[in-house]
Structure formats: C-alpha cells, structure tokens
Structure 1
C-alpha cells in the first residue's frame, strides 16, 4: 500500500476530501520524523512506538576496494509494534 492508496482509503472511509486527508497524513509524517530527529519517541497506543535507536560502532567492508572500514555509532529510526499489533499480524 502506498501513501496515495492510504489517503484514498481513509477518504472513502471517513467521507473527508482527499486533499484534507493528504494534509493530515503529511503533517503526521512530518511530526513523527521531527520527533525522531530530536531523539523523542512517538507512542501511538495500540499501534506502536517510533523512536531513534542508538547503533553501536562496528566494522564493515568496502566491497569495491576490499578494505575494512569503521562504521561509527549513530542513531537510526526504529519502529516497535505494540503487542496487540503483533498478535493481530500473527493471527492472519
């Protein structure tokens, strides 16, 4: 499902105009990204938590030069689904 598919589905389910739904979805995504960039988590009850997770430094490989490189520690976006979400997926 793409963002456009999601917008169409929400618009048909709610009776709202697609442009209004699009604005809401865009703002939701912006706020989630902005919070994660600021290292704040976003908790949506019954859905899950979006957060920035710290990744440890590690060794990697540059396959074009066949050399080892050090990948420094960094933050990466992470989504942790709620238990009810996980259970619902397992049922299907």
Structure 2
C-alpha cells in the first residue's frame, strides 16, 4: 500500500474528503517526524513507538575493495511495534 492508497482507505472508513484525509495524513507524518527528530518518543498505544536511537561509531569494510573504513556515529529512527499490532499481523488465518 502506498500513500495514495492509504488516503483512499481513510476516505472509505471516515466521512473525510480525499483532500482532508491527505492533509491529515501529512500532518500526522510531519508531527511524528519532527518529534522524533527532537529526540522525543512518539507512542501510539497498541500500535507502536517511534524513537530516535543513537548508533555508535564503528568500523566497516568496503565490499568491493575490502578496504577498512570508519563509519561515523549517527542517530537513526526506530519503530517498535506494540502488542496489539504484533498480534494482528501475526494472527493465523
């Protein structure tokens, strides 16, 4: 499912127009992104938690040449699914 298909699903399940559903989805994604960028967690109970995770500097290897290289420390986004979401995805048919 891509973004436009997700907007269509929102329209089908709510009384929103397609434009309003698109704006709501954009606002939700922007809010999650800016909050996690500020190193704050976003927890949606039952769905999951978005957080910023610090990754330490490490040594790597160029797969083409085998040459060793340094990979700098960075902060990456991480999503941890909630129990309800995990149960729904893992449910056997």
TM value normalised by structure 2: 0.90
Deviation at 1:44, TM superposition (A): 0.6
Counterpart mapping for 1:1-92 below 5 A: 1-92=1-92
Deviation at 1:78, TM superposition (A): 0.4
Deviation at 1:15, TM superposition (A): 2.2
How many residues are aligned here?
92
**What whole-Å deviation, never above 9, does each CA across 1:3-61 have from its counterpart, x for those lacking one?**
10000011011121000000000010001110111111101111000000111221112
TM value normalised by structure 1: 0.91
Deviation at 1:65, TM superposition (A): 4.3
Please report the RMSD computed on the Cα atoms of aligned residues, expressed in angstroms. Answer: 1.2
